[in-house]
A and B are shown apart, each in its own frame.
Chain A
Amino acid sequence: MNAQLRTPIKIARGLGSAKTGAHHFMVQRITAIALLGLGVWFVWIVLSMLHMDYAAARSLIAQPLNAVLMLAFIVALFWHAQLGLQVIIEDYVHAHGLELGLQITVKFLCFLGAAASVLAVIRIALATAPLGS
């Protein structure tokens, strides 16, 4: 086929692996910026819970501000983790089947972790009394 009959964009399109890389890059950085603040807050919360009894620890997380920040922390954490692990798998796992399997497993686990944590925070924030006591 004579390449002259094709426009340059027709020849270039589809080459290389850039698909939605810019979006991935941006979300990874935005969640990183969020986790700077939320990560420090999380460490502070854990430190203040260290020697609380169950009821005090639960009511600390149940406070509206803490519950909202914990939700934000969970979403940013699992989103950032999925994006980061995705890049590591892309870089080091070169067998297509294994790579696909790992990518899907990581995505599922990160979503399940986030969903389970969000449910837990909602239970803590909305229940008036500890459910298990």
Chain B
Amino acid sequence: MPDTARPLSPHLTIYRWQIQMMTSIVHRGTGIFLALGSALVVWGLFALASGPDAFASVRAFCESWIGLILLLGWTWSLAFHLLNGVRHLLQDIGLGYEPRQFVRNGWLVTIGSFVLTALVWAAALAQRGGA
């Protein structure tokens, strides 16, 4: 596996669980998942350029069960990555490094991501007339 056998810093198993490690891991995980989701953006735009039939198959995919589950996952991933990204940008300018602030902001991001997801899906469902 590794090409070099250098000493490593202590691994995940040695640490007590904390919000900081969760936000870091999930930021990367959602980033990978969102990158995969960009395929749907490409497909959607291509279908829109191609014609009604192609657009209908994108819509059919999005309204299928697997499509809805993926879209829900992408909505939450975007919400989390966006809010946690703001947290990182604020840290880049030196804010929020007190341990208490750090932990509080981690929870704000986590809870906020679910609130944002709920708002987006409420807006989507409201358009359907509550169906």
Residues of A at the B interface (CB closer than 8 Å) are: 29, 32-33, 35-36, 39-40, 43, 47, 50-51, 54-55, 57-58, 61, 70, 74, 77-78, 81, 84-85, 88, 94-96, 113, 116-117, 119-121, 123-124, 127, 130-133
Contacts and interface: CB of A to CB of B under 8 A. Distances in A.
A36 B81 CA distance: 10
A28 to B, nearest CB: 10
Interface stretch (B13-21, B42-50, B95-103, B106-114): B42-50
Nearest to B129: A51
B42 A117 contact: yes
Nearest to A121: B45
Contacts of B32: 85, 88
Contacts of B26: none
Interface of B: 1-4, 28, 31-32, 34-35, 38-39, 41-42, 45-46, 48-56, 75, 78, 82, 85-86, 88-89, 92, 120, 123-124, 127-128
A81 to B, nearest CB: 4
Q: Chain A's interface: helix, strand, loop or mixed, by majority?
A: helix
A78 B124 contact: no
A77 B31 contact: no
B24 to A, nearest CB: 11
Given A85-B32, A95-B3, A117-B45, A132 B120 contact: no
